[in-house]
Amino acid sequence: MLEEMLSYFELTGITPSSRITSPDAVMKEQSSRVIEVMRGIEKKENITLNAIYDLLKSVSLNVQQNEKTETSKDDDENFIHVNDVQDLLDRYKDLEKLYSASEEKNKSHLIEIELLKARTTSEDMNESVDTDRLLEIVETIENRKKPATFNSSIYEIERTVFDAWMTRLKNELTR
């Protein structure tokens, strides 16, 4: 058993004083990245919808002004009728409602995801796990972490070290 442990440390390059980032911290970082992407998409859609709305308003005002100044029926072909503009504005409002509904649906999905994460975490905790081994792995991971050069809120860890300890952690959890 001791020989296996020594060969493992030699192959992976891990030492007992190695620092490895916590999987929870990595999961939280990835979750915040997903949230940032969703916010970016939401912001872009809002900008697009507002631009369409402004364009429709300006077209509507131009059509109304042109109708007041020109009485010729021949020119009607070159302009959008006020009813068409009103239909477009109504369609815009419908799209805005649809967007709000989908945004609410996205929020409910995010809440469901968080609940599922919490539920699976609590279910996993109910299973028999050797906590001493897990604590040893977590301590080793923490010992191997190094603060990033330019961002003190981020830790760096060698990829081979991280992969090896994550594999060991997964093995311990699947027992």
Q: What is the pLDDT of residues 74-94, one digit of tens each?
A: 555 667 788 888 888 999 999
CA dist 89 → 20, 33, 59 (Å): 56, 35, 11
Looking at the chain, list the stretches that DSSP marks H as alpha helix, in order from N- to C-terminal side: 2-12, 23-69, 82-126, 131-144, 159-174
Does the structure show a pLDDT above 70 at 127?
A: no
pLDDT at 108: 83
pLDDT at 114: 85
Q: Measure the CA–CA gap between 89 and 54, rounded to whole angstroms.
A: 10
Backbone angles phi, psi at 147, to 5 degrees: -65, 140
pTM: 0.27
Backbone angles phi, psi at 146, to 5 degrees: -130, 140
b/e string for 103-136 if b means 16 or more Cβ within 10 A?
eeeeeeeeeeeeeeeeeeeeeeeeeeeeeeeeee
pLDDT at 45: 82
Q: Give the amino acid at 167.
A: T
Q: Which residue has the higher pLDDT, 8 or 76?
A: 8
Three-state DSSP at 77 gives helix
Rank 2-16, 35-49, 116-130 by mean pLDDT and report only the highest.
35-49
Q: Give the amino acid at 42.
A: E
Q: Measure the CA–CA gap between 155 and 148, rounded to whole angstroms.
A: 5
